[in-house]
Chain A
Amino acid sequence: MAKQEASGSGRVVAISPDDGSTIDLKSPALAALLSWLVPGLGQLVQGRRFKGLLFMAALVPTFLAGMWLGDGRVVYASWKPGEKRWAFICQAGIGAAALPAMIQSWRLEGPAKQPAFRSPFMAPPLSRGQPVSPAYAAALVKNDPDIDADDFRPLPPWQQFRPPPPPGMLDRTPADQVSIWHKRLGRFFEIGTLYTMLAGMLNVLVVYDAWSGPMHPTPRDEKGKQ
Chain B
Amino acid sequence: MTPLAALIAVTLLDRVPGVVYGLPLVLVAAIVFAATHHEDSTAIKRATLEWIGWLGGILGGVLVAVWLVSWLA
Contact = CB atoms under 8 A, between A and B. Distances in A.
Q: Report whether chain A binds chain B.
A: yes
Contact of B25 (A48, A51, A198): A198
Counting chain A CB atoms within 10 Å of each CB, the highest count among B21, B32, B33, B40 belongs to: B32
Given A62-B24, A65-B24, A191-B18, 19 more contacts: A17-B37, A17-B43, A18-B43, A23-B39, A50-B44, A51-B39, A54-B35, A55-B35, A62-B25, A69-B21, A187-B18, A191-B21, A198-B28, A205-B32, A205-B33, A206-B36, A208-B36, A215-B36, A216-B38
A49 to B, nearest CB: 10
B41 interface: yes
B29 A202 contact: yes
A48 B39 CA distance: 9
Given A198-B28, A202-B28, A18 B39 contact: yes
A62 B25 CA distance: 8
Interface size class of B (residues with CB under 8 A): 10 to 19
A19 B43 CA distance: 10
A208 B40 CA distance: 17
Interface of A: 16-19, 21, 23, 48, 50-51, 54-55, 58-59, 62, 65, 69, 187, 191, 194-195, 198-199, 202, 205-206, 208-209, 213-216
B28 A214 contact: no
B6 to A, nearest CB: 25
B17 interface: yes
A54 B31 contact: yes
A214 B38 CA distance: 6
A25 to B, nearest CB: 11
Contacts of B18: 187, 191
A216 B37 contact: yes
A216 B37 CA distance: 5
In the A-B complex, the 9 residue pairs with the closest CB atoms: A18-B40, A16-B39, A202-B32, A18-B43, A216-B37, A209-B36, A205-B36, A58-B31, A50-B41
17 contacts: A16-B39, A17-B39, A17-B43, A18-B38, A19-B40, A23-B39, A50-B41, A51-B35, A55-B35, A62-B25, A191-B18, A194-B25, A195-B21, A195-B25, A198-B25, A205-B33, A208-B36
Given A18-B43, A54-B44, A62-B25, A215 B32 contact: no
Contacts of B24: 62, 65
A61 to B, nearest CB: 8
